[in-house]
Amino acid sequence: MVGKLKQKGLVRVAVYLNKEELTSMARVAEKLGLRRVGLPTETLKSHGFEGETEANTDGVSKVLKFCFEYWMKEEPKRLKRKAEIKQEIMCLEKEDIELG
């Protein structure tokens, strides 16, 4: 498995989420169609002790990947618009001072 990942140039990243963050991202994945609707966020461990659970992260990695791609594409536009608004505010404040 590791050999195939190296050949493809893939890297594994570990992300730690609390239960609320995992639930939130799971719901987003369901809305985007990346995760089957109604899957529990925790499942029983297959060979664990009684009541021992593990996180069901189906679709969460795709949400993180696609959200980051969107953020990288849209962030310059947002920052540009924020700078424009800041400039407009400064002009309005200057005009307000001039008018008294």
For residue 93, the model assigns a pLDDT of 94
- For 1, the token pair is 């498995």
Sequence spans of domains, the chain: 2-99
Asked if 59 and 30 count as a contact pair (C-beta separation under 8 A), the reply is: yes
Picking from 70, 86, 82, 74, the residue whose alpha carbon sits closest to that of residue 32 is: 70
For residue 75, the model assigns a pLDDT of 93
For residue 13, the model assigns a pLDDT of 82
pLDDT in tens, 64-90: 888 888 889 999 999 999 999 999 999
Alpha-carbon span 45 to 54, nearest angstrom: 6
Looking up tokens 């404040």, which residue turns up? 93
pTM of the model: 0.61
Confidence band for 43, pLDDT divided at 50, 70 and 90: confident
Asked if 43 and 37 count as a contact pair (C-beta separation under 8 A), the reply is: no
Alpha-carbon span 75 to 89, nearest angstrom: 21
